[in-house]
Amino acid sequence: MASLVVAGDTSGSVTLSAPAIAGSVTITLPSSSGTMAVTGGSPSFATLTVTGDATINGQTVGRGNGSVSSNTAFGASALANTTGGDNTALGAFALNANTSGNVNTAVGRSALRNNTTGADNTAIGYQALTRNTTGSFNLAVGEDTLAFNTTASFNTAVGFQALYANTTGQYNTSIGYQAGKANTTGSVTAVGGFALALNTTGTRNVAVGGNDGAGTDAALYTNTTGSYNTAVGVGALKVSNSYRDWE
């Protein structure tokens, strides 16, 4: 038999019933091109078993492209994975380019989108760690945190655009709105809104003290390339760009 069509009229229904006592209804489709579509009305299932990833209203639900049993994918184009395991991707394009990276968690649209082999990363927020490729052991919480990080590892960024421009700088900790935003290759510790916001390549700097306004009073706010500075308190070394200074 080539095909079987079961159809109702415009106001009817089609029902496939399992035996009342025990049993199930199984629909097997051709493995090469078969699909099943449930449309119209309000279909309901007591139990629905799908052996591959499902697409529900444009959202991928399942394990991702590699079908690795320890992976979880939810979102359009989430987790285009091949061999990596223990990954969780929630959001459109989350972990989209991942190949063999393991133990990554991406929550938010485009979080860890370009990650390929980087491992043990956690990205929560829109475009958090979105350009990361091979960097590992990074934590990014907040929109655009560590957005330009590519290969750097061991960074922690919490707050809107914290460590936003960091590319290869490692062992950075930035907590606060735009803390360490301009840092690219330096290794810094910035705590407070706008702290070390303009630092680019300065390294071994510590700034503790934020600012509620434009940020000009944040600790080490204007420092760009100065290194080995420590500033504690609002306005501390806010105009410094020197070497081995403290306040």
User: Is residue 117 left, alpha or beta, with left meaning phi > 0 and alpha meaning psi from -120 to 50?
Assistant: alpha
Exposed, middle or buried: residue 223 (CB in 10 Å: 0-12, 13-18, 19+)? buried
The pLDDT of residue 89 is 97
Please say whether the beta carbons of 241 and 225 come within 8 A.
yes
The pLDDT of residue 211 is 75
The stretch 12-19 carries a mean pLDDT of: 59
The CA distance from 104 to 203, in Å, is: 28
29-67 residue pLDDT tens: 666 555 666 666 666 666 777 778 888 888 889 999 889
Q: Please give the residue that has the higher pLDDT: either 60 or 87.
A: 87
Contacts of 226 (CB under 8 A, 6+ apart): 202, 205, 240, 241, 242, 243, 245
The CA distance from 234 to 219, in Å, is: 6
Residue 81: is its pLDDT beyond 90?
Answer: no
133-192 residue pLDDT tens: 999 999 999 999 999 999 999 999 999 999 999 999 999 999 999 999 999 999 999 999
The pLDDT of residue 2 is 53
Please say whether the beta carbons of 189 and 162 come within 8 A.
no
Q: Please give the residue that has the higher pLDDT: either 45 or 132.
A: 132
Least confident of 105-109, 212-216, 236-240: 212-216
Full strand arrangement of the beta sheet holding 88-90: 54-56, 59-62, 72-74, 88-90, 105-107, 122-124, 139-141, 156-158, 173-175, 188-191, 205-208, 230-232
The CA distance from 240 to 104, in Å, is: 38
Please say whether the beta carbons of 141 and 158 come within 8 A.
yes
How big is the chain, counted in residues? 247
Residue 235: is its pLDDT beyond 60?
Answer: yes
The CA distance from 124 to 132, in Å, is: 13
